[in-house]
Amino acid sequence: MSAEQAAAMIQPGWNVGMSGFTGAGYPKAVPRALAAHIEAAHAAGRPFRIGLWTGASTAPELDGALAKVDGIDMRLPYQSDPTVRAQINSGHMQYVDIHLSHVAQFVWFGFLGHLNVAVIEVAGVLPDGRLIPSTSVGNNKTWIEQADYVILEVNHRQSAALEGFHDVYYGAALPPHRKPIPLETADQRIGEPYLRCDPAKVIAVVDTDAPDRNSVFTPPDAQSAAIAQHIIDFLQHEVAQGRLPKSLLPLQSGVGNIANAVLAGLDRGPFAGLTAYTEVLQDGMLDMLRSGTLQSASCTALSLSPDAADYFNAHIDDFRGRILIRPQEISNHPELIRRMGVLAMNAMIEADIYGNVNSTHLMGSAIMNGIGGSGDFARNAYISMFMTPSIAKDGSISCIVPMASHVDHTEHDVQVIVTEQGLADLRGLAPQQRARRIIDTCAHPTYRDALHDYLARARLQANGQHTPHVLTDALSWHERYLRTGTMLP
Amino acid sequence: MSAEQAAAMIQPGWNVGMSGFTGAGYPKAVPRALAAHIEAAHAAGRPFRIGLWTGASTAPELDGALAKVDGIDMRLPYQSDPTVRAQINSGHMQYVDIHLSHVAQFVWFGFLGHLNVAVIEVAGVLPDGRLIPSTSVGNNKTWIEQADYVILEVNHRQSAALEGFHDVYYGAALPPHRKPIPLETADQRIGEPYLRCDPAKVIAVVDTDAPDRNSVFTPPDAQSAAIAQHIIDFLQHEVAQGRLPKSLLPLQSGVGNIANAVLAGLDRGPFAGLTAYTEVLQDGMLDMLRSGTLQSASCTALSLSPDAADYFNAHIDDFRGRILIRPQEISNHPELIRRMGVLAMNAMIEADIYGNVNSTHLMGSAIMNGIGGSGDFARNAYISMFMTPSIAKDGSISCIVPMASHVDHTEHDVQVIVTEQGLADLRGLAPQQRARRIIDTCAHPTYRDALHDYLARARLQANGQHTPHVLTDALSWHERYLRTGTMLP
């Protein structure tokens, strides 16, 4: 049926589980039709908002379109859309920011309420009703199983050759009936290439023909290249010390330009025979698979720029068996990340001198995107690395601060901090030792003295020397930025 | 040989891995002899300090004795000794506070440096050299395997009948060779009742005869009883809603009087056929095993008061097969906690209105004890609960504050907060919704209006409405306490 007919079945107040993970595999037509439907309802004076659950971030046609018509009451678990962000930060939209590995099980446990309908993009439907997933799996398995109704978008633009790239694990259960997940390597299959779906639940099938709307990556700049080089040097050193195998351990890389630059650096670097166990396969990893630096990659989404997507589709058989796309509760599962000993590399907004990391909030109050899978990987990694340029906004913001204005990853989960200035290896260090190393190695020279001065004053004034702080000054850099537009005095 | 002879072999600057977990199974004689040795060295002008690694907290004869002679340079991973705490807070001792599940693997990975000697209390030695563990296993397996030398204390006061109560898993490996850990229920055996030990490493065997020095629990007071009742009501409600089985899921309980009171409440409560998967088996759980409310318990330490220890030793066969004592990397393993769906109940120092939890620091800077296993359990639990009285120090401290002065567990990992005032169920709530529920349900009436006032001002002034804060005021309650002795204006 048409997207409009399908969207018309979605009722005000429903929780809607949509496919989509970092701009890959989201439904292209029903969300926009739903937005039009909501806009018409509002024009007629009828309230119409939904709870919107996804895998992670989607695209303007989904998050943006629904937010613009004021159609989202509650959003989970991760977003990166400017309109959604603005509505969260204006207090108009509720946002529940959840570790990505937790989402599916919380729905199964009954913690997040009832899921009324799933809207899922697929690449195809088999004669027996099984579904060929699209460019992401995300939470689709859970949405399809938990929702009362299922609306399918069959996107004919996605390559039919995607069939076979997915590995959907159907061995999950609820406690106390859970078993070990039998996955030991990134390239191992433990599930099926298809999503199962009860045909009786399917209330609409909509044909679409539209590409994923992923953004182009900026070419690596000098800062990102420097961060990448610090990480490569560190990994080489760890191999030399016997603390890492020559082919390293499975890589995890967050999203964004810095992550992509690090991957480009690794591709030019000295390593071979690598694997990846990650959420999102970006351009950088596709390049590594092309060059052979990367043998195989496990992910939950193929989040490729338009050019990279074209290359992937034109050479899809080169990647067959080397890329596996799994549900996000498997790509991000603590059990598997810890077992495999993943090398976790995630971007951050700021770190404080003790190594507490803020991944989500600007100046303590305003959400940027969300925690995503960074916590799943950081806590369970073999080595947990966080990276950022040392300054932002032309130097008016130091990304190394006295006290993080919000904490997503505590010092217990942060072993390495990297900026273009250098890499601070924090393993086995006590807080004051961490502080000196972070300031000397990672902070921008413009802010280094002020950070040392803060630490010195804290050592004089604090009520304890384990993690000394001056509480009246701890957040003063952020406060000054809000008041004057710069953290500089 | 004598403890003095054994201690004399420990050299300045060594890292020493000692047994001991929350006052159970720590060596009784060698640490004191080492302290005397260190004191003599210092008197003679010779520097002598060690790195002290344990399972968790020990006792005055170990931590206290070595700290009093200024013998500890670096301490990990958890302590609760007043002298050690004072030295950390004076800046004289380095303290590396690590998730308890991370410690063993970090040593295996080579992240914490070289372990020179292990000093391990055992209950006995078999003719073939295998060791009968004492009242805790903790990190003993790792210390024995990783240390160059092993010193054994055979404590004849520990019951010989402890033989068979332990389950030491020898299937661990380093990535990329790790396999699934084949444990599915709290009462399942996956290992051996003995510690393996290369006899060639054993440089001393010292006989001792002394009890574990565990403290007496205070009888549950009205506050603790109220916290317990809120938790019981909540769990009953979850069962009624179908979100928990009638026999619940395996319980984890932190240490201390409140935890013990909650267990006492559960023992009188409506539940039967329970199990526990926890770090520490305290008096409260022993009582539950005695009454039959608890079928079985898995732990890494038997941390019993003297009376409870006497009862346990006198009736040890009643508990055989119902208590299993495991290495702490198994008792606290994310894989297993998540698989079993543990109900995690941990004490905290304070929570902020958004549900970020501080478990370790007083007024932002001073360490109290350490994070222990609270992060291992909170992150991977089925339901993660944190509890505290709503006020401390006769009301001069509110344990619900505008912003936590230190964060160990972020809002992403905190689903339930309980005080004697009530239980705030935070599942599925956005930050401002969490704030209103925490203030209304958990805060003490003395501070409730001031918290609402903070939230109202933050909503007016903050740069974003996701987690609104007034940065100039966020830590002002702590600052006022440090300045005036009370958080009250």
Q: How far is B178 from B175, CA to CA, in rounded Å? A: 5
Q: Name the residue facing A465 among B91, B382, B459 (closest C-beta).
A: B91
A88 with B458: Cβ contact below 8 A: no
**Is there a domain that residue A216 lies in?**
no
Any domain includes A213: no
A369 is in an annotated binding site: yes
Give the three-class secondary structure for B61. Answer: helix
| % pLDDT > 90, chain B | 96
Q: What is the CATH number of the domain that holds B36?
A: 3.40.1080.10
Whether residue B280 is found in the same domain as residue B422: yes
Query: pLDDT-based confidence at A256, cuts 50/70/90?
Result: confident
Sheet with A422-425, side-by-side order of all strands? A323-325, A294-299, A274-277, A251-253, A343-347, A383-387, A416-419, A422-425
Asked, for residue B489, whether it belongs to a domain, the answer is: no
Residues 6+ apart with CB under 8 A from B474: A364, A475, B402, B403
Question: Is the bond preceding residue A176 a cis peptide, omega within 30 degrees?
Answer: yes
- Polymer length of chain A: 489
User: pTM for the complete prediction?
Assistant: 0.98
**Residue A489 within any structural domain of the chain:** no
Asked whether residue B215 is domain-assigned, the answer is: no
Q: Which of A91, A176, A375 shows the shortest C-beta gap to B465?
A: A91
Report whether A18 contacts A65 (CB < 8 A).
no
Integer Cα distance of B98 and A426 in angstroms? 12
On whether both B194 and B301 belong to a single domain, the answer is no
Rg, Å, chain A Cα set: 23
Of A249, A371, A463, the CB nearest to B366: A463
In our burial notation (b when 16+ CB lie closer than 10 A, e otherwise), range B459-471 reads eeebbbbbbbbbb
Q: Which of A78, A73, A142, A74 is nearest to A110 (CA)?
A: A142
User: Are residues A120 and A266 located together in one domain of the fold?
Assistant: no
Kindly report the nearest CA distance between residue A85 and chain B, in angstroms: 9
Contacts of B180 (CB under 8 A, 6+ apart): A180, A181, A182, A184, A335, A339, B335
C-alpha neighbours within 13 Å on the C-beta side of residue A340: 31
Residues 6+ apart with CB under 8 A from A71: A34, A35, A38, A39, A48, A49, A50
Q: Which two tokens stand for residue B347?
A: 């004490």
Q: Cβ A365–B462 below 8 Å, yes or no?
A: yes
pLDDT 10s per residue in chain B (489 long)? Answer: 999 999 999 999 999 999 999 999 999 999 999 999 999 999 999 999 999 999 999 999 999 999 999 999 999 999 999 999 999 999 999 999 999 999 999 999 999 999 999 999 999 999 999 999 999 999 999 999 999 999 999 999 999 999 999 999 999 999 999 999 999 999 999 999 999 999 999 999 999 999 998 777 788 889 999 999 999 999 999 999 999 999 999 999 988 888 888 999 999 989 999 999 999 999 999 999 999 999 999 999 999 999 999 999 999 999 999 999 999 999 999 999 999 999 999 999 999 999 999 999 999 999 999 999 999 999 999 999 999 999 999 999 999 999 999 999 999 999 999 999 999 999 999 999 999 999 999 999 999 999 999 999 999 999 999 999 999 999 999 999 999 999 998
Residues of A in contact with B53 (CB under 8 A): none
How crowded is residue A265: how many other Cβ atoms within 10 Å of its Cβ?
A: 20
pLDDT in the model for residue A161: 95
Total domains in chain B come to: 2
Q: Is A349 annotated as a binding residue?
A: yes
pLDDT tens per residue across span A169-191: 999 999 999 999 999 999 999 99
Q: Same domain, yes or no, for A69 and A148?
A: yes
Both tokens assigned to B238: 């979850």
Q: Are residues B282 and B194 in the same domain?
A: no
In chain B, the residue whose alpha carbon lies closest to the alpha carbon of A429 is: B96
B414 and B444 part of one domain: yes
pLDDT tens across A407-440, in order?
A: 999 999 999 999 999 999 999 999 999 999 999 9
Q: From the annotation, which residues of B make up the binding site?
A: 349, 369, 373, 393
Give domain status of residue A214, yes or no: no
Q: Which of B145, B178, B208 is the last residue of a domain?
A: B208
Same-domain check for residues B402 and B325: yes
Neighbours of B482 (CB within 10 A): 18
Instruction: Give the residue numbers of A marked as catalytic.
Output: 279
Contact yes or no for A365 and B469 at CB 8 A: yes
In a domain, B104, yes or no: yes
Same domain membership, residue A302 and residue A161:
no
Query: Min CA distance, A131 vs chain B (Å)?
Result: 28
- Residue B307 CB neighbours (<10 A): 11
Residues B192 and B234 in one domain: no
- Which of residues A208, A239, A255 is at a domain's end? A208
Annotated binding site of B for CoA: 349, 369, 373, 393
Chain B residues near residue A184 by CB distance under 8 angstroms = 178-180
In a domain, A464, yes or no: yes
Residues B17 and B44 in one domain: yes
Rounded Cα distance, B127 and B129, in Å: 5
- Domain limits for position A16: 3-208
B291 and B147, same structural domain? no
- Separation of alpha carbons A184 and B176, rounded Å: 8
> Which of chain B's residues have a Cβ under 8 Å away from the Cβ of A405?
469, 471
Residues B107 and B237 in one domain: no
Facing A243 at nearest CB: one of B109, B178, B250: B109
Among A175, A208, A241, residue at a domain's last position? A208
- Give CA torsion, residues B30, B34, B35, B36, to 10 deg: 100
